[in-house]
Amino acid sequence: MRQKNRGLGLFTFFIYLFLLGPLVIIAFASFEPGSAMKFPPQGFSLKWYQNIFEVSMFKTSFITSILVSLAGNLLALLLGLPAAYALSRFQFRGKAALNAIFISPVLIPGIVLGFTMLKYVIITYNLPVYSALLIGHTVIMLPFIIRVIASSLANFDFAVEEASLSLGAGRLKTFFTVVLPNIKSGIIAAVLIAFLESFNNVDISVFMTGPGISTFPIQMLLYVENNFDPTIAAISVLLMLFTAVLMFIIERLMGLSYFTKR
Partner 1 sequence: MKKSYLTLLLLPGLVFLAAFMVIPILLTVGSTFYHEGRFTVEGYLYFFKDPYFLKILWTTLRVSLVTTAICMLLGFPTAYFISQQSPRKKALLLALAIFPLLTSSVVRSFSWTIILGKKGLLNNMLLSVGLIQEPLNILYTPTAMMIGLIHLFLPLIIITLVGVMENIDTDLVKAAESLGANRFAAFCRVVIPLSVPGLIIGGILVFVGSLTAYTTPALLGGKQQVISTFLYQNAITLNDWYLASVVATIMMVITFVIIMIMNMLANKLNPKG
Partner 2 sequence: MAMLTLENIAVSYDQQYILKDFNLSVEKGSLISLLGPSGCGKTTTLRLIAGFLDAKEGKFALNGKDYTRVPVNKRNFGFVFQSYALFPHLSVYDNVAFGLRLRKVNKADVDRRVRRMLDIVNLSGFEQRFPKELSGGQRQRVAIARALVIEPDLLLFDEPLSNLDANLRVNMRVEIRRIQQELGITTVYVSHDQEECFSISDQVAVMNKGIIEQLDKPSTIFKYPKTEFVARFIGFNNFITFDSRQENGNVIELQTKGRTFRALHGEGRGEQKGLKGAIRPDDLKLGTQEELGVDFNLLPGKVKVSTYLGRSYQYVIETELGEFTVNKEMEQPYISGQEVLVHFPIEKLIVVE
Is 188 one of the binding residues for partner 2 (CB under 8 A)?
Answer: no
Asked if 238 and 147 touch (Cβ cutoff 8 Å), the reply is no
CB under 5 to 8 A by kind: which of partner 1, partner 2, none does 8 bind? partner 1
Region binding partner 2 by CB under 8 A among candidate stretches 112-120, 174-182, 196-204, 231-239: 174-182
Q: Site for partner 1 (CB under 8 A): which residue of 153, 189, 220, 253?
A: 220
| Residues within window 21-80 making contact with partner 1, judged by CB under 8 A | 22-23, 25-26, 29, 36-39, 78-80
Is 158 one of the binding residues for partner 1 (CB under 8 A)?
Answer: no
Asked if 58 and 52 touch (Cβ cutoff 8 Å), the reply is yes
In the bound state with partner 2, the residue whose beta carbon lies nearer, of 40 and 168, is: 168
Q: Site for partner 1 (CB under 8 A): which residue of 148, 150, 189, 206?
A: 206
CA distances from 254 to 74, 188, 189 (A): 20, 9, 7
> How many amino acids of this chain bind partner 1 (CB under 8 A)?
86
CB under 5 to 8 A by kind: which of partner 1, partner 2, none does 157 bind? partner 2
| Residues within window 35-74 making contact with partner 2, judged by CB under 8 A | none
CB under 5 to 8 A by kind: which of partner 2, partner 1, none does 252 bind? none
> How many amino acids of this chain bind partner 2 (CB under 8 A)?
18
Contact mark string toward partner 1, 180..199, x via CB under 8 A: -------------x--x--x
Is 159 one of the binding residues for partner 2 (CB under 8 A)?
Answer: yes
Is 182 one of the binding residues for partner 2 (CB under 8 A)?
Answer: yes
State which amino acid sits at residue 61: S
Q: Which stretches of the chain bind partner 2, using CB under 8 A?
A: 157, 159-160, 162-171, 173-174, 178, 181-182
